[in-house]
């Protein structure tokens, strides 16, 4: 070790390398989100399929060793969550419909046809 004040974190080569690694990671993350996560179709509807809440509750009981009182409280929380999720989903559907209606009101007939086709194409792509 030398007695000098050579601080390696201020070395331009090290800073450039760190910046390159950071930017490469950001780009990889962005591409992963764009082509990976967003390619997964989003399914509307309740969070749990029929009977799914009961299966989850049974699993929580078993894996977390819940007391009967805790299991009852857990079931209440899960019921509240499902109701809240369904309410939010309904509100989101209403907002989408309202926005679409407002857009259609400002378009002429030809533009409406193009808009409807664009929306159909987007929905078809989401379902793939």
> Residue ranges of the chain with pLDDT lower than 70?
1-9, 31, 33-51
pLDDT tens digits, one per residue of 14-44: 778 877 887 777 777 776 766 665 555 544 4
Q: What is the DSSP string of 13-34?
A: HHHHHHHHHHHHHHHHHHHHHH
pLDDT of residue 45: 47
pLDDT of residue 37: 56
61: exposed, middle or buried (C-beta count within 10 Å: 0-12, 13-18, 19+)? Answer: middle
pLDDT of residue 81: 84
pLDDT of residue 108: 94
How does DSSP classify residue 8? G
Phi/psi of residue 30, nearest 5 degrees? -65, -45
Domain boundaries, the chain: 1-40, 43-127
pLDDT of residue 22: 76
């Amino acid at each position: 070790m030398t007695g000098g004040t050579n601080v390696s974190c201020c070395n331009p080569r090290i800073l450039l390398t760190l910046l390159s690694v950071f930017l490469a990671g950001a780009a990889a993350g962005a591409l992963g989100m764009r082509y990976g996560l967003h390619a997964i179709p989003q399914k509307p509807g309740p969070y749990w399929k029929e009977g799914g809440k009961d299966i989850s509750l049974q699993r929580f009981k078993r894996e977390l060793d819940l007391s009967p009182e805790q299991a009852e409280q857990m079931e209440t929380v899960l019921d509240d969550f499902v109701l809240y999720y369904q309410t939010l989903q309904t509100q989101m559907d209403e907002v989408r419909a309202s926005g679409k209606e407002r857009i259609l009101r400002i378009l002429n007939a030809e533009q409406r046809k193009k808009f409807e086709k664009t929306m159909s194409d987007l929905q078809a792509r989401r379902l793939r």
